[in-house]
């Protein structure tokens, strides 16, 4: 991508409305734009990061056996009247009428709709277990939308829904998502700790929130400090192995960890003082087991091996991609801007032409840009005629992991500079060496 032809509206000034660093940097880097309170456009740079986050989420959901579909944002009120949640959900639900005066709503979550899909076609235990997910916009008319896309009214959610014949089988489905979440957040460069959590309007008794420790987090959390160094389930985890997944769950729930709603002061005080961690955190995922809470009122049942009909046991599993992007920035930035983990960086490499219009600089940059693009790298080429200082500031702000800098003096020697955004380390090398370093 040539920067001269891209759309990346950088802000020079610090936006006044931004209270936390991620919100400030997302606005300054031209990643998002607020359209009305708590409702955002994702501009091209932000969209790239969001897509990469979603690709990792999708990959791990698929690995754990979940199946992707797509459900609409607008739902009929009837379904919610069946489950009894239409009145219970309150003012957070955006209620709309269509031209025939039929009550509709912008979905805040999808338990009812997915249960409707399930009951319309699944009739036998032989079709279980089943886990269906989508990555879709949701709307919740939050009282206090704030911190940019961290808590917005319209936001994206990956929501998965599992269906099983028995409670035991449903617990295995829960454990699959539990392990998939540990892997997902790790691949996003984050340490998320599962904590016992309140179930709120979704319901059920068994629930964990996945929390990232951050000073700007909205939740107050309490946990054992050893969680910070626990091993993440490996790539070859067998998600069908019931015992292996139970062992992962047992290990990750063996020590104290709870959000403030579930906090048990006495149990926390039983943890050795030096091992106690009381901090603030960002909830990036939330999983629930709620048994037959929706299947019973909505009549979602299957025939069991005993020939009788059984209401299915369900769970739901949410991740907030549009919250994860700012959460990653909270965890990874410095005074100059964002520092993206390579797995979600909007570009792999930025090529900076320090003197656009200078033949040797132009030729060198074109050569590097073409070679790296051909090798499948996402390359941003800063071919604008901005001052070098502005280009450096922009490259640092948008946080691309590697900068290749071509200035007239180095280029005259057949060389460029390679800068690591995270460490700031710079290395001068031949043009060929710079290309070869990133082409494998
Ligand atoms: N149906 C269940 C799980 S599929 C559910 O709705 N769970 S939730 O309410 O906990 O939301 C799941 C995730 O969505 C949260 O962990 C959070 O990451 C994200 N999320 C929730 N509300 C917002 C919001 N207002 N802005 C941004 N992300 C949000």
Tens digits of residue pLDDT in 294-330: 999 999 999 999 999 999 999 999 999 999 999 999 9
Residues 232 and 146 in one domain: yes
- pTM, rounded to two decimals: 0.97
Looking at the structure, tell me whether residues 296 and 357 fall in a common domain. no
Kindly state whether residue 300 falls inside one of the protein's structural domains.
yes
* Whether residues 15 and 81 fall in one domain: yes
- Quote the pLDDT of residue 263: 95
CB of 152 within 6 A of ligand 1: the answer is yes
DSSP character string of 229-280: GPPPPPTT--TT-HHHHHHHHHHHTSS-EEEGGG--HHHHHTS-GGGEEEEE
Ligand 1, atom nearest to 324 Cα: 18
Q: How far is CA 312 from the centre of its chain?
A: 29
3-state DSSP: the chain helix, strand, coil percent, rounded to 5?
40, 30, 30
Q: Using CA positions, which residue lies closest to atom 27 of ligand 1?
A: 151
Angstrom distance (rounded) from CA 116 to CA 110: 10
Residues 392 and 316 in one domain: no
Of ligand 1's listed atoms, the one at least distance from the Cα of 288 is 3
Listed residue (121, 122, 124) closest to 307, CA to CA: 124
Same domain, 168 and 264: yes
Do 125 and 214 belong together in one domain?
yes
151 lines ligand 1 (CB under 6 A): yes
Which residues fall within 8 angstroms of residue 385, CB to CB, at 6 or more apart? 356, 357
Cα 318 to Cα 284: distance, rounded to the nearest angstrom: 8
Q: Are residues 96 and 218 in the same domain?
A: yes
Give the single-character DSSP code of 81.
Answer: H
Ligand 1 centroid to Cα of residue 93, in Å, is: 14
Testing ligand 1's pocket by substitution, the residue of 143, 197, 217, 286 carrying the most ligand atoms inside 8 A of its CB is 286
Bond preceding residue 181 cis, omega within 30 of 0: no
Which is nearest to 121 in space by CA: 248, 302, 259?
302
Q: Whose CA is nearest to atom 26 of ligand 1?
A: 151
Nearest to 27 by CA among 333, 281, 336, 398: 398
Distance, in Å, from the CA atom of 360 to the CA atom of 383, rounded to the nearest integer, reads 13
320 C-beta closer than 6 A to ligand 1 = yes
- Last-in-domain residue among 304, 338, 372: 338
Confidence at residue 217, expressed as pLDDT on a 0 to 100 scale: 92
Task: Judge if the beta carbon of residue 317 lies within 6 A of ligand 1.
Answer: yes
Stretch (H or E) spanning 282: strand 276-291
Question: Residue 200 has what pLDDT?
Answer: 83
Confidence of residue 204 (pLDDT cuts 50, 70, 90): confident
Pairing verdict, β 379-382 and 349-353: parallel
Within 10 Å of residue 416's Cβ, how many Cβ atoms?
27
Q: Are residues 305 and 255 in the same domain?
A: yes
Q: Which of 338, 366, 400 finishes a domain?
A: 338
Tell me which of 338, 360, 375 is where a domain ends.
338
- Indicate which CATH number applies to the domain containing 359: 3.40.50.800
Q: Is the residue at 87 inside a domain?
A: yes
- pLDDT, tens digit, for every residue of 242-275? 999 999 999 999 999 999 999 999 999 999 999 9
Q: Do 319 and 376 sit in the same domain of this protein?
A: no
Pocket test for ligand 1, best of 142, 218, 320 (most atoms within 8 A of CB): 320
For residue 411, the tally of other CB atoms under 10 A from its CB is 22
Distance CA 287, CA 264 (A): 20
Cβ atoms 282, 22 nearer than 8 A: no
What gap in Å lies between CA 432 and CA 436, rounded to an integer? 6
- pLDDT band, very low/low/confident/very high, at 18 (cuts 50, 70, 90): very high
Is 177 part of any domain?
Answer: yes
112 CA distance to ligand 1 middle (Å):
16
- Residue 224, pLDDT above cutoff 80: yes
Give the residue whose CA is nearest to atom 29 of ligand 1.
320
Helix residue ranges per DSSP H, 93-241:
111-121, 167-187
Q: Which of 412, 406, 407 is nearest to 434 (CA)?
A: 406
Q: Is residue 344 part of a domain?
A: no
What pLDDT digit, counting tens, does each position of 378-409 carry? 999 999 999 999 999 999 999 999 999 999 99
Helix (H) or strand (E) holding 408: helix 408-412
Euclidean distance between CA atoms 187 and 20, whole angstroms: 24
Residue 174: predicted pLDDT? 98
**Cα 141 to ligand 1 centroid, rounded to whole Å:** 13
Residue 343 belongs to some domain of the structure: no
The string over 183-220, giving b where at least 16 C-beta atoms fall within 10 Å of a residue's C-beta and e elsewhere, is bbbbbbebbbbbbbbebeebbbebbbbbbbbbebbebe
Ligand 1, atom 17, residue with closest C-alpha: 320
Using the predicted structure, report yes or no on whether residue 199 has a pLDDT greater than 90.
Answer: no
Are the C-beta atoms of residues 435 and 379 closer than 8 Å to each other?
no
**Is 227 inside any structural domain?**
yes
Structural domain tally of the chain? 2
Residue-range definition of the domain harbouring residue 100: 7-338
Residues 45-100: tens digit of each pLDDT: 999 999 999 999 999 999 999 999 999 999 999 999 999 999 999 999 999 999 99
Q: Are residues 310 and 400 in the same domain?
A: no
Q: How far is the CA of 282 from the centre of ligand 1 (A)?
A: 11
Are both 55 and 81 inside the same structural domain?
Answer: yes
Give residue 286 CA to ligand 1 midpoint distance, Å.
Answer: 7
**What is the mean pLDDT of the segment spanning 13-25?**
94
Give residue 124's pLDDT. 98
Is 239:318 a contact under the CB 8 Å cutoff? no
Residue 176 has pLDDT above 80, yes or no: yes
Q: Is 283 in the pocket of ligand 1 (CB under 6 A)?
A: yes
Query: Is position 38 within any domain?
Result: yes
CATH number at residue 76: 3.30.930.10
**Average per-residue pLDDT in the chain?**
97
Burial class (CB in 10 A: 0-12, 13-18, 19+), 314: buried
C-alpha 352/C-alpha 397 separation (Å) is 14
| 312 and 424 belong to one structural domain | no
Residue 219 lies in a domain: yes
| H or E element, residue 317 | strand 313-319
């Amino acid at each position: 991508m040539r920067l001269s032809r891209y759309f990346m509206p950088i802000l020079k000034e610090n936006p006044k409305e931004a209270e936390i660093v991620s919100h400030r940097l997302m606005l300054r880097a031209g990643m998002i734009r607020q359209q009305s309170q708590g409702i955002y456009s994702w501009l091209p740079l932000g969209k790239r990061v969001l897509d990469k986050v979603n690709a990792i989420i999708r990959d791990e959901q698929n690995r754990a056996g979940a199946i992707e579909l797509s459900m609409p944002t607008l739902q009929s009120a009837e379904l919610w009247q069946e489950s009894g949640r239409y009145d219970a959900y309150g003012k957070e639900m955006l209620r709309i009428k269509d031209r025939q005066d039929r009550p509709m709503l912008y979905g805040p979550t999808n338990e009812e709709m997915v249960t409707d899909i399930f009951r319309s076609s699944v009739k036998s235990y032989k079709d279980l277990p089943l886990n269906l997910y989508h990555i879709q916009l949701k709307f919740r008319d939050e009282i206090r939308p704030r911190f940019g896309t961290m808590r917005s009214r319209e936001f994206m959610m990956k929501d998965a829904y599992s269906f099983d014949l028995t409670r035991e089988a449903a617990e295995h489905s829960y454990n699959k998502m539990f392990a998939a979440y540990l892997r997902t957040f790790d691949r996003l460069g984050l340490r998320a700790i599962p904590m016992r959590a309140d179930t709120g309007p979704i319901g059920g008794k068994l629930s964990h929130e996945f929390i990232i420790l951050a000073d700007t987090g909205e939740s107050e959390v309490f946990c054992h400090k050893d969680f910070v160094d626990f091993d993440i389930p490996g790539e070859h985890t067998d998600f069908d192995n019931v015992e292996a997944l139970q062992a992962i769950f047992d290990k990750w729930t063996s020590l104290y960890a709870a959000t403030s709603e579930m906090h048990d002061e006495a149990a926390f005080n039983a943890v050795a003082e030096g091992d106690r961690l009381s901090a603030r955190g960002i909830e990036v995922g939330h999983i629930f087991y709620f048994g037959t809470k929706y299947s019973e009122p909505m009549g979602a049942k299957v025939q069991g091996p005993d020939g009788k009909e059984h209401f299915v046991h369900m769970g739901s599993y949410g991740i907030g991609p549009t919250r994860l992007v700012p959460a990653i920035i909270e965890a990874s930035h410095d005074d100059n801007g964002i520092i993206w983990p390579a797995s979600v960086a909007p570009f792999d490499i930025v090529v900076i032409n320090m003197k656009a219009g200078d033949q040797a600089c132009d030729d060198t940059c074109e050569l590097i840009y073409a070679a790296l693009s051909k090798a499948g790298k996402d390359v941003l080429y800063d071919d604008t005629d901005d001052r070098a200082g502005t280009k450096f500031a922009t490259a640092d702000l948008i946080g691309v992991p590697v900068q290749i800098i071509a200035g007239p003096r180095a280029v005259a020697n057949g060389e460029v500079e390679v800068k690591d955004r995270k460490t700031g380390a710079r290395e001068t090398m031949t043009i060929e060496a710079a290309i070869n370093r990133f082409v494998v």
